[in-house]
Amino acid sequence: MFDEEKEDGHELDKKQEDQVDEEEVQADVEVPEDASLEVEAADVEDLPVECADEPGCECSLEAEEAEEAEDEPCESCETAEEEDIPSMEETEAALDFEPLQPGDVVQGAVVQINDENVLVDVRYKSDGVIPLSELKLTSGQKPQEVFTVGQEIPVYILSVDGRDGAVLASYRRALDEIAWDRLYVCHDDKKTVEAPVVEEVKGGLVLDVFGLRGFMPASHVDRGFVSDLSDYVGQDVRSRVIELDRNKNRIILSRKIVLDEEHEEKRGETWANLEEGQVRTGVVKGVTDFGAFVDLGGVDGLLHVSQMSWGRVDHPSDVVNVGQEIEVKVLRVDPDDDKISLGLKQLQSDPWENVDDKYTAGEVVEGRVMRIAPFGAFVELEPGVEGLVHISELADYHVGEPSEVVSEGEDVDVKVLRVQPDERRISLSLKEARRNQEQTRHERRAGGLTLGDVFGDLLTETRERLSDEKKNKEETE
């Protein structure tokens, strides 16, 4: 009891002492009456603030944030609260996932290949699955034969599951989408496409155009009529897209338009550069009884039969054939009438240039009767060189018709009477050649002198003089 009263007395004395000390402190501090009680913010910033969790921690928090931070730990405290778990949208954004919608065509990398599907990384929260039916495989083909891990391929998004992010994709439809886009560009820009012909069907051809099935009508296969379309199967042909309808899966192509445009372009260039005297290379496009038509590059020229050879030509097909490439000389150009005359023999040496060196008067040569006229027969001595046997020189007797003595195609021996290279004429005699032959035979049989030995020259000169006089008289009449 006594102890308790003693302790209470001590506490009372202590409180009184503290009160006295506080009054003395206030008495010592004199505050001016006009002194401001406001404290500048700069001074407050430097004041230490006690941490709510750790009383002994001094934090450098701003004064205006101190009240908000009373119940929060500072960065130096080890009692920070756990961070919240991010949402699915935040995770997708952090991983740079792009939203996928059905109908999108994106690039993907093959990550796994199975017998029934292929998995593709499409930069989404789950890989895309391409079923076997959407891989565009041929009959009996396996996915491992077409795809490899790491291969970049386009894929078409069929569906996206919003709950677990499962993606169903198609490689076949992606290729179709890309092909249709390319076709529309080619159609709008009038670009030429090259595609293989896969089969012949009724009325035309079927082509594989960027993996799609296109149709080319028979009338659009070539510039002219084509009787057998099977020759085009397996070939790559250039064509123009003339009609597109994706809803009907309709693709119509034309090769004829491409050929027509190229033909007109070549035609313009040829006419611009064509001049008389040029030697040009062409292709024989057609052969007729009177000559051949040669394509010089979009422009056809006529090679007449008379210009094919220096010799006689029975038919143009004896000299040139359809499809043959030949060199010809441009003889005449007429743009107004769209006509070009060509020559082939002009590129060959003229046999008449040295004809007087080959044939001299008095010699007997061999030739062939090429044609018969009322006044005589023309005998070819070599291709391009013909001589005339006048009807008076066919026999020693009167001849009514040359055909009584000779026939076309017959090989005969003739004697050269005169050579006139400037006029491209050679006069021949059949009867003189035969007399010479008969005289030679008599000489061989007699073995001695003959009348020919004595009067041969005189008789020959007399016969030639009489023959010339007769021919001149007939020509005058």
CA atoms of 178 and 104, how far apart (whole Å): 12
User: 210 near 177, Cβ under 8 Å?
Assistant: no
**CA nearest neighbour of 113 among 75, 141, 138, 78:** 141
Q: Does the CA dihedral 429-431-437-442 come out positive or negative?
A: negative
**CA nearest neighbour of 432 among 384, 362, 343:** 362
Q: Does 195 lie in the same domain as 285?
A: no
Between the CA of residue 466 and those of 191, 363, 416, 475, what are the distances in Å?
82, 19, 16, 14
In a domain, 284, yes or no: yes
Q: Would the pTM count as exceeding 0.75? A: no
Paired tokens of 304: 């007449």
Taking 50 as the pLDDT cut, the residues of the chain under it are 1-17, 19-55, 57-64, 66, 69, 76-83, 85-86, 88, 91-95
CA atoms of 243 and 428, how far apart (whole Å): 73
Helix (H) or strand (E) holding 457: helix 451-476
User: 137 near 131, Cβ under 8 Å?
Assistant: no
CA angle, 250 then 254 then 260, to 5° = 160
Q: Does 109 lie in the same domain as 62?
A: no
Domain count, the chain: 5
Q: Does 462 lie in the same domain as 407?
A: yes
Side chain identity at residue 420, one-letter code: Q
In a domain, 237, yes or no: yes
Q: Does 300 lie in the same domain as 366?
A: no
**Please, what's the b/e burial string for 295-318 (b: 16 or more CB within 10 A of its CB; e: otherwise)?**
bbbebbbbbbbebbebbebeebee
User: 175 near 211, Cβ under 8 Å?
Assistant: yes
Q: Does 299 lie in the same domain as 246?
A: no
Return the residue matching tokens 């404290």.
39
CA atoms of 298 and 226, how far apart (whole Å): 19
146, 175, 204 - which closes a domain: 175
In a domain, 315, yes or no: yes
DSSP letter for each residue of 331-384: EEEETTTTEEEEESGGGS--TTTTHHHH--TT-EEEEEEEEEETTEEEEEEETT
In a domain, 217, yes or no: yes
- Please report the pLDDT score of residue 5 as a whole number: 43
54, 80, 106 - which closes a domain: 80
In a domain, 332, yes or no: yes
CA atoms of 125 and 118, how far apart (whole Å): 17
Q: Does 417 lie in the same domain as 389?
A: yes
Q: Does 198 lie in the same domain as 243?
A: yes
pLDDT in tens, 17-53: 454 444 443 444 444 444 433 434 344 344 444 444 4
105: Cβ contacts below 8 Å, ≥ 6 apart: 154, 155, 156, 157, 174, 177, 178
- Please report the pLDDT score of residue 217 as a whole number: 96
Side chain identity at residue 154, one-letter code: P
Q: Does 430 lie in the same domain as 373?
A: yes
CA atoms of 183 and 176, how far apart (whole Å): 10
**CA nearest neighbour of 360 among 414, 413, 418:** 418
In a domain, 307, yes or no: yes
Between the CA of residue 118 and those of 127, 138, 159, 330, what are the distances in Å?
10, 16, 16, 67
Q: 384: domain CATH number?
A: 2.40.50.140
Paired tokens of 34: 């006009």
* 56: containing domain: 41-80
pLDDT in tens, 275-333: 999 999 999 999 999 999 999 988 999 999 999 988 888 899 999 999 999 999 999 99
CA angle, 101 then 102 then 103, to 5° = 110
Q: Does 202 lie in the same domain as 120?
A: no
